[in-house]
Amino acid sequence: MSDRKVSRRRSNRRRSRWAAVCGGVALSLTVGLQGVAAASDGPVPPRPPGRLLAAPAAFLGGLVHPEASPSGANDWSCRPTRRHPRPVVLVHATWTNAASNWSMLAPWLKRQGYCVFAPNYGGAPGSPFKANGPVPDSARQVARYVDRVLKATGARQVDLVGHSQGGGPTPRWYLRFEGGTDPAHPKRNKVHSLIGLAPSNHGVTASGLGTLTTELGLNPTVSALVGQAYADQMVGSEVNRKLDRGGDTQPGVDYTVIATRFDEVATPYQNQFLTAGPGATVRNVLIQEVCPADLSEHVSLSYDTNAAQLVSNALDPAHARPVRCGVSLPVLGG
């Protein structure tokens, strides 16, 4: 066989292989797009932007600018849409602030079309370490803020998304004791849903540190140094006893708890879960049961893109989508 014929055959084989590859790619793209179109009845929200140092960067930003609003939040001219009729109020954790806690979730929800609001509460003006005051006082501040949001937006209800204290005792106190709900007329509730990321719902032990200070009677001393929110969130505190005495939930409110097995603060993590009472719904989610490789702990859960997708599904369950699990690391998030 001549060298020319051998060369021609090799060239033909290469062209055939490329044609097969290109045809396969085109087929995959076509099937994928058809699948998206079939599964979607509206815009597909993008995956939350994950950056390796997003959480530490936000923490540093919150130290420098403790009163700043996170990007996408606190646009008081925002008006809710038919698709997203309820504003979302983000309630930060203990010893943080709105900017340090919500610099990933706030802009992402804003891009989805929500009116997003994020108060600073429970701390002295100018201090980066907020939500350290008594839980009932913080709940009253949240109550006033929600009233302001409802008045500015014209909405009838809000959805609350909170982290740690901000997803547990403070909003629950607001719902029960500060006018967030009307048990006799649940349709008049100011809050439609409460979504808690690692919420300190039934008290914390802080991996044993809280148990030690409680047993030694040191909680008042520690709270004098770091704020009353410390003692208020310990297992067996008066705040927790009062909240638990009437059951976990309020009629007419949808509750979602998103916990991580690796929580080092709100421990044991099972204390975060709620039990539904009359007229309420509860979804308790352990994130490792959704994304087994997720390594987020207490601090990084608000910068966990997997948790953010669960939040989005809880806010809009009619358009919930499977979580596309990504890497999420302790402290850093994902």
Per residue in 22-35, pLDDT tens?
A: 333 232 222 232 22
Closest among 267, 306, 85 to 164, alpha carbons compared: 267
| Strand order across the beta sheet in which 191-197 lies | 116-117, 88-91, 158-163, 191-197, 254-259, 281-286
- pLDDT digit string (tens) for 207-251? 999 999 999 999 999 999 999 999 999 999 999 999 999 899 999
Using only C-alpha atoms, what is the Rg of the chain? 24
Q: 176: which 2 tokens?
A: 């029960």
pLDDT for the residue 89: 98
- pLDDT digit string (tens) for 87-126? 999 999 999 999 999 999 999 999 999 999 999 999 999 9
Which amino acid is located at 306 in the chain? N
Q: 87: which 2 tokens?
A: 């504003």
If you average pLDDT over every residue of the chain, what do you get? Answer: 86
| Cβ within 8 Å of residue 289, ≥6 positions away | none
Which amino acid is located at 9 in the chain? R
Rounded to two decimals, what is the model's pTM? Answer: 0.84
- pLDDT digit string (tens) for 246-277? 899 999 999 999 999 999 999 999 999 999 99
